[in-house]
Structure 1
């Protein structure tokens, strides 16, 4: 087993052989949780990697090559955190027909203790939300291009309990025990050199999600998303990444489904609005083929209905971290990021890139 954790190419710690050569059973993978919204914690996943015969032949015949198409993965996952939040679920991520079809599906149950900030208020309202989350997502490559057309369906039944009685501004009582269902159409462009830890290329997309009572939910509203992630090599050692992201909702959206600024250094749901916009820049420096240092900064706004873009405040974060190439043949890098947001310092354990 320990021999499989050493790369014969450079004699360094590497999990490629262990992951792919043991693809005949479930592999336990422990992980840490460092999301500031739920506290610190941990859990474990049992992962089953489905490497095709063709992928295996290519890997064994080209040990120095990094696979551009990741193997399909089936997993069972569970975790808990210091504030009492917990999650368990099953999922499958598949790549079929030489990456012409991409699929992601899962069923998750959880209970999360979070904070809700009504409007632009700085007063935190503690609440618990628990329920089941069901996802089906598929993308089809358009001919031999880098464009994908896809669709997904999401159904989430939830029950929310605030830690005090009384009405909370902006929350309809029906939202506390409800079901939210949506169908979405999306168009994605993806020229990244690796899906786990890209170093060059572009991923960009637009998506329109339609939440409707006819789909099995209790709400009628629309959600629109646009994003672009770019990765480029400035030189052999230096790399630069850029991220832009916009989201907007219209209609009777429940409080927990409003967009929020999703950046390192900012807890989930801390800065919510009916519209959000953000940008991030990340600079990387390769110490060698295994170790990479990174620095990043970003800023964004969460805008409520009735307010203009200029009315909202910029929320900025910055930080630094490192990555280690833990699975060379998969191009998978892992590491730690330390980020400072508007209110606090946070630490993140990263598997792959920070931008999803």
Structure 2
């Protein structure tokens, strides 16, 4: 599994789901290009120009410097926690075999990203903060995909109970441990995997702003789960796919016997498709369903995870959503995109028809910043049911 980190778009309720880090492992390196001194920029200028077309390209800079820890800054653009940033120390592990293939085939786009080890830390405008260490590995020619990490965070969020429009302010902080691995089945595009998550957290609700005189309520808990998953992945690139399919199902079992305080189950199914309508036009489709049952803590309920909608804004015991994205290539480097999507969050006891559709739409652009990695970067501007949001994207928007 490649590290799902576009520039640390933090999804805070994922502190319990494994979704609170969402950045591509090479993406935050590109932010370093904005902070290098003038002399250093002059010294590496040749590495930032692709000899194939003479355009700005970071492939050589990233891969030829895949040794030692590289300090780089990054941005945070998740509307639920505000804007912010931080820094990372990254250590890349490109194998000798990968390097030989890359140097002998400069026109070829790598299908296997290098492994990376990192230390990250960041903070946002609403007082949220995050720090941690991780390793993401692709082994045996992409036959094994691994992600592991230990993270600590404190997030100031809003919780909307049921279909209520009343926001309850709360803080959740804790320590999050993740182990995730996928094994390719023979020479197929199918992967069978498992993961383990353990998080100890402390949640504090602040009601004094709504009801004066009420003291904060504190809740301490531990949530642990083991999951089994089956994934199909035929995408042509793990960062910015242009064709292929990624689809999967996953069952997570949260149990006291695993070290937690809760007993509940979580089920997920998704499909992402990418196709070329013509040489210039591309079409993407995303479908996603989630369901939980049992004694689910408030922060672990699934929510509509779409551009234009803050994390945890539309929660339910079940969620379903669809998105489509249309792209147009101006040339080999620049691409324009437009997207729209809709979904429902359904509470137990309510039918699918009882829930309201929540819709978002937007547009953006991508630039092929690392041709040999197939990595594209750009900006999306999205309008959800309530607000406009801007996202800095590295790689695809769908994880």
Aligned residues: 356
Contact 2:92 2:114 in 1 (8 A): yes
Output the CA distance in 1 between the equivalents of 2:342 and 2:218.
Answer: 30
Q: How does 1:132-143 map to 2 (within 5 A)?
A: 132-143=175-186
Q: In structure 2, do the counterparts of structure 1 residues 294 and 203 end up closer, same or farther at CA, with 3 Å as the change threshold? A: same
- Name the CA shift for 1:169/1:178 in 2 (closer, same or farther; >3 Å): farther
Partner of 2:252: 209
Distance 1:172 1:209 in 2: 35
Paired position in structure 2 for 1:146: 189
TM-score (norm 2): 0.86
Shift, 1:167, TM fit? 12
Q: CA deviation at 1:268?
A: 0.1
Partner SS state of residue 217, structure 2: helix
What is the CA–CA distance in structure 1 between the aligned matches of 2:245 and 2:214, rounded to whole Å? 38
Alpha-carbon RMSD: 2.4
Deviates more, 1:322-331 or 1:172-181: 172-181
Aligned CA distance change for structure 1 residues 171 and 178 (closer, same or farther; 3 Å): farther
Structure 1 unaligned spans of 5+: none
* Aligned equivalents of 2:292, 2:111: Cα separation in 1: 35
Change (3 A) 1:171 1:51: farther
Question: Is the CA contact (8 Å cut-off) linking 2:156 and 2:170 kept in structure 1?
Answer: yes
Cα 1:246–1:264 shift into 2, 3 Å: same
Segment of structure 1 superposing worse, 173-182 or 52-61: 173-182
Task: Evaluate the alpha carbon distance shift between residue 175 and residue 286 of structure 1 in structure 2; reply closer, same or farther with a 3 A threshold.
Answer: farther
8 A contact 1:175–1:255 mirrored in 2 = no
Q: Give me the whole-angstrom Cα distance separating, in 2, the residues matched to 1:37 and 1:201.
A: 32
Q: How many Å separate the matches in 2 of 1:200 and 1:152?
A: 27
Residue 29 of structure 1, CA deviation: 2.7
Question: In the TM superposition, what is the alpha-carbon distance from 1:165 to its structure 2 partner?
Answer: 6.1
Structure 2 CA distance for partners of 1:307 and 1:168, relative to 1, 3 Å: farther
The change in CA–CA distance for 1:175 and 1:227 in structure 2 (over 3 A counts) is farther
Q: How does 1:52-131 map to 2 (within 5 A)?
A: 52-131=95-174
State how far apart, in whole Å, the 1-side matches of 2:384 and 2:261 are: 35
Once residues 89 and 56 of structure 1 are traced to their aligned partners in structure 2, the CA distance between those partners, rounded to angstroms, is: 29
Q: Residue 175 of structure 1: SS of its match in structure 2?
A: strand
Verify the 8 A CA contact 1:171 1:255 in the aligned structure 2: no
Contact 1:291–1:323, Cα closer than 8 Å, also in 2: yes
